[in-house]
Amino acid sequence: MLPQYPPLQDTFEIPPTTERFGVVEHPYDDTLGFGPDNYHSRQWGTQDERSRGIYLRTAARSHEPSRWCLGAYRVAGYPDYCMDPTGQTLVTSTGWVNETGLRQWVRSHPGKTYRIGNEPGCPEPCGDGLMLAEYAAWYYAAWQLVKSEDPMAAVGYGIPIGWAWEDSTLVNMWDAYRDYTGNPMPTDFHPIHRYAVHGAGGWTLEGETAFLSERMAFLDSHRGTDWIGRRYYILDEFGMLSWRYDVPAPQQMEYMSAMAGWLVTQDEIVTWSWWPSWFDGCSDTCGALIDRNGNVTPLGALYRELAAGE
């Protein structure tokens, strides 16, 4: 059994309503007026130090010496922010850091939330190009590294609990981690990805809330055996698949209003972040809260009003 730092204690307060509404937006310059406490993460570039959520990637896991990437996806059509062959650059034009640099960054930014990768092994290598056995080893290394430098940092896995069923990738990930370390998988939070279906036979509020409640109950049933840590749920991607389909803004506004109305009344999902994107085939701004010119969209104005309780 490998040594393992403990997860955070399962004692925390639900934040004020305004701080539960997160923003995952590119570009982000506080146009919505939420402030850095609600700036969940930057996904399409080098890590912004204002972000409370840090995406920790490995784009060259086979290279030595150890190298890590802070908050930079490798996406077709976007610059590769993880290309620095020296591994020395720290959160500048590339995002590459070596292990020494990463430890320094963690120490100098205490209390951050670290998301280790994104949707690996689903079921073939996807999100980070990792098979689950590779991901389990990388997660353990990342958990130990971050916790050794900042015991109060929150660290969590990259498979959303929307995939929670008995033969799912999530369960296979727990098994892979136990095989590698001999321990239940530790986590300080659980990410949820949930996108509503629009059109004929589409979403209902009852169906959406039942889905989320069932998935959280599923996780609860495995706590202490397959995973250990906080019962801290984050809906860090929700919306209407506007990054894939042309969903008219009125439909998205209807869904956003209904879901936000429910989210602020429940006490299990701690924070949530609307997921926007750009898609040339859509008729409006594809669910974006801010348009390409940095202006607040009608959808963004609604999200801001909902966060303010208006």
Report the CATH number at residue 47: 3.20.20
Q: Which residues of 181-197 are buried (b: 16+ CB within 10 A; e: fewer)?
A: beebbbbbbbbbbbbbe
User: pLDDT, tens digit, for every residue of 72-105?
Assistant: 544 444 455 566 666 666 555 566 677 888 899 8
pLDDT at 5 over 80: yes
Q: What is the pLDDT of residue 73?
A: 46
- Is 143 part of a structural domain of the chain? yes
Q: What is the pLDDT of residue 257?
A: 97
Assign 14 a pLDDT band (cuts: 50, 70, 90).
very high
Q: Counting beta carbons within 10 angstroms of the beta carbon of residue 175, is it exposed (0 to 12), middle (13 to 18) or buried (19 or more)? A: middle
pLDDT at 60 over 60: no
- Is 216 part of a structural domain of the chain? yes
- Is 5 part of a structural domain of the chain? no
pLDDT at 135 over 50: yes
Assign 259 a pLDDT band (cuts: 50, 70, 90).
very high
Give the integer Cα–Cα distance in Å for 253 and 147: 40
Say which residue the tokens 């976007």 belong to.
Answer: 78
- Is 261 part of a structural domain of the chain? yes
User: pLDDT, tens digit, for every residue of 137-178?
Assistant: 889 989 999 999 999 999 999 887 776 677 788 999 999 999
Q: Which segment of 15-19, 126-130, 228-232 scores lowest on mean pLDDT?
A: 126-130
Percentages helix, strand, coil for the chain (3-state, rounded to 5) are 30, 15, 55
Specify the number of domains making up the chain.
Answer: 1
**What does the DSSP assignment read for 51-97?**
-SEEEEE-S-TTSSS-EEEESB---TTS--TT--TTS---SSSS-EE
Give the integer Cα–Cα distance in Å for 114 and 106: 10
Provide mean pLDDT across the span 28-37: 70
Give the integer Cα–Cα distance in Å for 104 and 100: 6
pLDDT at 45 over 80: no
- Is 12 part of a structural domain of the chain? no
Say if strands 67-70 and 96-98 run parallel, antiparallel, or are unpaired: antiparallel
- Is 285 part of a structural domain of the chain? yes
Say which residue the tokens 């997160």 belong to.
Answer: 22
Q: What is the pLDDT of residue 39?
A: 57
pLDDT at 65 over 80: no
- Is 14 part of a structural domain of the chain? no
Task: Check residues 293 and 251 and name the one with the higher pLDDT.
Answer: 251
Which tokens belong to 68? 């890590």
**What percent of the chain has pLDDT above 90?**
40
The residues, ordered by sequence, that sit 6+ positions from 204 with a Cβ below 8 Å of its Cβ are none
Q: What is the pTM of this model?
A: 0.88
User: H or E element: which one contains 270?
Assistant: strand 269-274
- Is 8 part of a structural domain of the chain? no
Task: State which residues form the domain around 203.
Answer: 20-307
| Helix segments in 109-248, DSSP class H | 132-149, 169-181, 205-222
Report how far Cα 259 is from the mean position of its chain's Cα atoms.
19
